[in-house]
A = this chain, B = another copy of it.
Amino acid sequence: MEPSWHGRRLDAVTETDGRVTVLAGGVGGARLAHGLDLAGAELTVVVNVADDVELHGLAISPDLDTVTYTLAGLADEERGWGVVGETYAALEALGRLGEDTWFTLGDRDLATHVVRTAALRAGEPLSVVTARLTAALGVRPRVVPVSDDRVATLVDTAAGRLGFQEYFVGRHHADDVVGLVYDGIESARPAPGVIEAVEEADVVMIAPSNPFLSVEPVLGVAGVRAALASTRARRVAVSPIVAGRAIKGPAAQMLASLGHEVSALGIARLYSGLVDVMVVDERDAHLAADVAALGPEVLVTDTVMGGTDGRERLAREILAAVRG
């Protein structure tokens, strides 16, 4: 199926110059960013930090690391997290020493957390150590945590209020989510460059990440939503829901339990007024008219980014479309 465009026009141009900023969570954001990098975009990835967690005294930033490992070509693509070819000798040893090991930390991944923790303890902001780590791994795009301050997603469920990783990893995101709290978000300041990356980009994309767990704690940091509202960039969101299901993770279940329609239309409603273009999967082509009725132009295409080819193709299609 060819991509179809419900809007002014679908430009065939595939030039990819211009500044692109992606607001990203973990896997979906990482893959879209990777595609844009492969397509040659001048890219900034603003990454959620509300899933960060301290375990074994180590500062762990799963979304930042997923984005970094993916852009560095080190990600375990099959599993969707961690480093490819990873081993778990240290985790086994941690278990032997009496540590709780519900959160799977690989040996290579551990090195990232050790370096980050030492840097943070020495007073280096998260954005600075992130820049250092990505540079060391040869990552070309700028990867920026949305804030150097602590923001922590807390998840309200029938079982009570849970820490994010407890909900997500510890309990396998099986609980119905009835509410979310982004602890610390009121006082969190955007990291240096975040607001400029939104204001001064030619294109800003909301990645196909979980709207509640990944996107909202990015938009909720002071100034980010306002910058997205006022930027002259073309603003695009890619639906993380395809044919009523999430590609990965609990987005579908959360949409339902929080009272939203579990579809690309439900996603479009969440971002209504914030984006100029909605990208909807071809399996949801029948929703395009309803999405367009909300205001945005609609790009219908294959949004499932399996391999690197698929990512680059999607990135090029979106960039071509929004240049229209």
When C-beta atoms are compared, the residue in chain B nearest to A98 turns out to be B136
* A169 CB within 8 Å of chain B: no
A277 smallest CB distance to B (angstroms)? 37
Kindly state the separation between the CA atoms of A132 and B90 in the bound complex, as whole angstroms.
Answer: 18
* A137 CB within 8 Å of chain B: yes
Residues of B within 8 A of A98 (CB): 115, 132, 136
Residues of B within 8 A of A115 (CB): 56, 94, 97-99
Residues of B within 8 A of A230 (CB): none
* A13 CB within 8 Å of chain B: no
A54 smallest CB distance to B (angstroms)? 9
Contact of A114 among B57, B83, B132, B136 (CB under 8 A): B57
Q: Which of A73-124 contact B (CB under 8 A)?
A: 83, 86-87, 89-94, 96-99, 106-112, 114-115, 117-119, 121-122
When C-beta atoms are compared, the residue in chain B nearest to A110 turns out to be B90
* A58 CB within 8 Å of chain B: yes
Contact of A112 among B93, B106, B108 (CB under 8 A): B93
* A133 CB within 8 Å of chain B: yes
A109 smallest CB distance to B (angstroms)? 8
Contact of A57 among B87, B97, B117 (CB under 8 A): B117
Residues of B within 8 A of A86 (CB): 89
